[in-house]
A = this chain, B = another copy of it.
Amino acid sequence: MPLPVPVPPEGVDPAWLPSAAFRAIGGRRTLIRGSGPLVETVHGEVADACARFGGRVVRDAEPGAPSYDLVLELTGTDDTEAFTYEREGGSTTVTASGQAGLLYGFFHVVRFGEDAFTGERPQEVHRPALALRMLDHWDNVAMHPVMGQVERGYAGGSLFWRDGRARGDLERVRAYGRLLAACGINAVAVNNVNVHETEAHLLTDRIGEVAEIAGALRPYGIRTHLSVSFAAPMVLGGLDTADPLDASVRAWWAETTRRVYEEIEDFGGYVVKADSEGRPGPFAYGRSHADGANTLAAALAPYGGTVHWRAFVYNHRQDWRDRSTDRARAAYDHFVPLDGRFASNAVLQVKHGPMDFQVREPVSPLIGAMPRTRLAVEMQATQEYTGQQRHVCWLGPMWSEVLRFRPDGEASVGELAGGLVAVSNVGDDPFWTGHPLAQANLYTFGRLAWQPDADPDGVLDEWIRLTFGTGPAAGLHAVLDGSWRTYEKYTAPLGVGFMVQPGHHYGPSVDGYEYSPWGTYHFADRDGVGVDRSCSTGTGYAGQYAKPWAELYESPDTCPDELLLFFHHVSYGHMLKSGKTVIQHIYDTHFEGVAEVEEAREVWASLAGLVDPARHARVAERFEEQLRSAREWRDQVNSYFFRKSGVPDAYRRTIY
């Protein structure tokens, strides 16, 4: 029986799967061969398209049947996600030896649109570069008094949880799974890594609610994961310890996990934030993070599950007076000594930069430094530090830079990583992501996870074409393409980071984190600014990189401009490679950044007739706020550095 396509509630944006995206398939004759639940999903998709556009779909046609425009054929029963694609003799064929591959092949055809049915095309094999392509939802079940329903969420409430439990109507979750499958994502963690009291129970007495969600996501090839508390054996199990080497603790995890798999046969595994920002962890028992992760891994191993152990471990109660501690060093210092000690089904989940999702950071030196450990790289689709979905900030180019970075000059991050994870930017907002253009980040993430060396510009155009059609494509490309660099220009300069309002992280506060315990400083004084992380005179962080990068970052003469203040404290008169002084660079980029927002807003206004009115209005409204905020950033940052440096702007523009 073909599975009906999910119908999200009235008014929910179709995102990159509008009806028009299925026009090409929907008008054709399609043959589907094979059986299995995901084949039924594909059948349902094609049937739905045909119902709308007059085509036809049949299953397992007998020999001698007429020829078909499209053949989707499952040839085996393995669990590969690969598929082949070819067009020959007027017919397009997708074959896959696993059901998920057939689903991805189907969406490949959708993305091609009319082009999938013209000309010839020799056989191509498509397979994801990364087996794990995951979204972590920082969703709370119970409303958190400070963080709300979704921690760092800017798109309304949670897709999964409402009024303290799993949403009854899961049609929207099914529609979400469909969108994810269409861009290549195959795993979702359904709750916040900060596991609070209510959420802890999802693992045991409330696992049924997780199973409901898993059931809704499964038909689109998505496995469900759960964030769990390291203290669960105490909090839930009534034990008096959570020591990972304690036999009763290990037994508790084993038994608890067995019950999870009773409810969710294809359960993906656990996500754990331990000994991090106040969460419990193995340090309390004098155990290592490998000990901690391996206990959970052992419980999951019999069922093929994985533990994702986050490497975001640092001292968040640092004394700002103490210049010898460097938060950037923390993940490397904590984890590199453990290389080789993690179980094979334990994945160390590493943020892409050493700090916390700033608009510009170097790539974490941990990546590439643990060859005997499975690593997943964590990105942040939710725009905590990049405009909170009130600003347009398409992160494709940043992620692509990270994925193409070669830690030792050879293999790229995309090749070294075993998985790619993003913190989701999705909520129950009608546009899914609050800012409609933030959908591009979700889509781009999925596509880069499938193919890390993909050209992000091409992915962007693909997203635009699917979502908006061709009419406004040039304007949309102009608005999005440079938006990350624009955002960088009007916010914290030259990689220094963290000039945000404490707590909520929206809007400027140059000194907001300067005297805080969070390890995030810029050390600006009347002479200069930046953090000396060199080996010769600084914290030694630069030395955590392999040679080519360690040498490059060590000296302000060779350090790339965009990371200069991350690695070095320099005078305001320091000459950048660009030929500008640091202070003039600050002034110039801040004026430019605002001008670019003004320009983008104009471009957007010009698209009024070419874009759905509701989408247009929402984006136009957000542009007003972005512009206000960008001006605030410009004026605060410029005033701050003018007051400190006393250096006038070369062009005598207004600085307050």
Contact = CB atoms under 8 A, between A and B. Distances in A.
A204 B314 CA distance: 55
A565 to B, nearest CB: 15
A656 B321 contact: yes
Contacts of A509: 511, 515
A361 interface: no
Nearest to A503: B503
Contact of A643 (B145, B525, B636): B525
Nearest to A656: B321
Nearest to A516: B509
Contact of A511 (B145, B511, B526): B511
A527 B635 contact: no
A127 interface: no
A654 to B, nearest CB: 9
A192 B527 CA distance: 48
Nearest to A145: B145
B636 A526 contact: no
A644 B320 CA distance: 17
Interface in A281-340: 320-321
Contacts of A101: none
A636 B525 contact: no
Given A511-B509, A515-B508, A644-B644, A321 B524 contact: no
Nearest to A510: B511
Contact of A524 (B527, B632, B643): B643
- Which of A145, A510, A636, A643 has the most C-beta atoms of chain B within 10 angstroms of its own C-beta? A643
A509 B524 CA distance: 15
Contacts of A510: 511
A177 B78 CA distance: 80
Nearest to A632: B515
Interface string A110-143: 0000000000000000000000000000000000
Interface string A606-643: 00000000000000000000000000100110011011
A321 B646 contact: no
A645 interface: yes
Contact of A526 (B145, B321, B645): B645
A632 B527 CA distance: 24
A510 B321 CA distance: 16
Given A510-B511, A511-B510, A511-B511, A526 B656 contact: no
Given A321-B656, A511-B511, A525 B646 contact: yes
B515 A646 contact: no
Nearest to A507: B515
Nearest to A525: B643
Contacts of A644: 525-526, 643-644
Interface residue SS majority, chain A: loop
A515 B643 contact: no
Contact of A321 (B515, B527, B635): B635
Nearest to A642: B525
A635 B514 CA distance: 12
A515 B645 contact: no
A646 B527 CA distance: 8
A526 B646 contact: yes
Contacts of A632: 515
Nearest to A655: B321
Interface string A411-447: 0000000000000000000000000000000000000
Nearest to A321: B656
A632 B645 CA distance: 25
Contacts of A511: 509-511, 640
A492 B529 CA distance: 25
Interface in A500-537: 508-511, 515, 524-527
A124 B293 CA distance: 81
Contacts of A525: 642-644, 646
Contacts of A639: 515
Contacts of A527: 646
A142 to B, nearest CB: 15
Nearest to A654: B321
Contacts of A636: 515
Interface string A522-565: 00111100000000000000000000000000000000000000
Contacts of A646: 525-527
A230 to B, nearest CB: 30
- Which of A320, A321, A636, A640 has the most C-beta atoms of chain B within 10 angstroms of its own C-beta? A321
A645 B509 CA distance: 20
Contacts of A321: 635, 656
A16 to B, nearest CB: 37
A590 to B, nearest CB: 14
Nearest to A524: B643
A212 B440 CA distance: 60
Given A508-B515, A524-B643, 15 more contacts: A145-B145, A509-B515, A510-B511, A511-B640, A515-B635, A515-B636, A515-B639, A515-B640, A525-B642, A525-B644, A526-B526, A526-B644, A526-B645, A526-B646, A644-B644
Q: Which 5 pairs from chain A and chain B are nearest by CB? A: A525-B643, A511-B511, A321-B656, A526-B526, A515-B636
15 contacts: A320-B656, A508-B515, A509-B511, A509-B515, A511-B511, A511-B640, A515-B632, A515-B635, A515-B639, A524-B643, A525-B646, A526-B643, A526-B646, A527-B646, A644-B644
